[in-house]
Chain A
Amino acid sequence: EAQVTQNPRYLITVTGKKLTVTCSQNMNHEYMSWYRQDPGLGLRQIYYSMNVEVTDKGDVPEGYKVSRKEKRNFPLILESPSPNQTSLYFCASSLLAGQETQYFGPGTRLLVL
């Protein structure tokens, strides 16, 4: 089944404890992206990747890191999480960059205490 998966789905952590949210797609998509969703602010792009080893900042990259070492995986890294990073995170992928249907993962709900 073609899909985007994220893990974990729910995470409670404490300020400063490094964490990684994994994202994987099995559709051979070139474009992958991370968004955070907050009430009243909609979906805001954190980072995106046009292809392997090609990543770029979205609108809210501060406090996050990403890597794209292989086409199928695009992990989101929070080196030192803070409470303002409490949010719902979505990974998405599309066949080509940008102007194609983006397929979203199920979301990861993160609470930073």
Chain B
Amino acid sequence: GENVEQHPSTLSVQEGDSAVIKCTYSDSASNYFPWYKQELGKRPQLIIDIRSNVGEKKDQRIAVTLNKTAKHFSLHITETQPEDSAVYFCAASKISNFGNEKLTFGTGTRLTIIP
């Protein structure tokens, strides 16, 4: 099955600097890659996603890039702010052999913004 690896597991950056989180996936048939943010004690929430027919997507300070050849995708957060402190999860999904879809998550990155 699909395997998603996420690095780093923890990341600390100074407020105002950029943060980059990287994920790799194993199944070349995966075609949808969402990123979820989970604040302490809260539920995960989608912050951005990308589909395999697109190489990059931006939403204000957040961007995601996808390299299908290398099977990796990254989350970029610019001008980081204290409220960006959270755990971030990448994920990958595809149509399985039976037409259904599974979503496989990475193990998460705990991002800490240092004031």
Contact = CB atoms under 8 A, between A and B. Distances in A.
B106 A98 contact: no
Given A41-B107, A56-B100, 18 more contacts: A31-B101, A42-B6, A42-B89, A42-B105, A42-B106, A42-B108, A43-B105, A48-B101, A50-B101, A59-B102, A90-B44, A97-B100, A98-B93, A98-B101, A101-B49, A102-B103, A104-B44, A104-B45
Interface size class of A (residues with CB under 8 A): 20 to 34
Determine chain B's interface SS by DSSP, over half rule.
strand
Interface in A7-48: 31, 33, 35, 40-45, 48
B102 A48 contact: yes
Interface in A76-113: 90, 97-99, 101-102, 104-107
A26 B60 CA distance: 30
Interface in B15-48: 31-32, 34, 43-46
Nearest to B109: A42
Given A48-B100, A98-B101, A59 B43 contact: no
Chain B interface residue bracket vs A: 20 to 34
B51 interface: yes
Contacts of A102: 34, 46, 103
Contact of A58 (B43, B51, B102): B102
B43 A105 contact: yes
B45 A59 contact: no
B107 A106 contact: no
A40 B107 contact: yes
Contacts of B1: 59
21 contacts: A31-B101, A33-B103, A35-B105, A42-B89, A42-B105, A42-B107, A43-B91, A43-B105, A43-B108, A45-B102, A48-B100, A56-B102, A98-B95, A98-B103, A99-B31, A99-B51, A101-B46, A101-B49, A104-B44, A104-B45, A106-B43
B44 A43 contact: yes
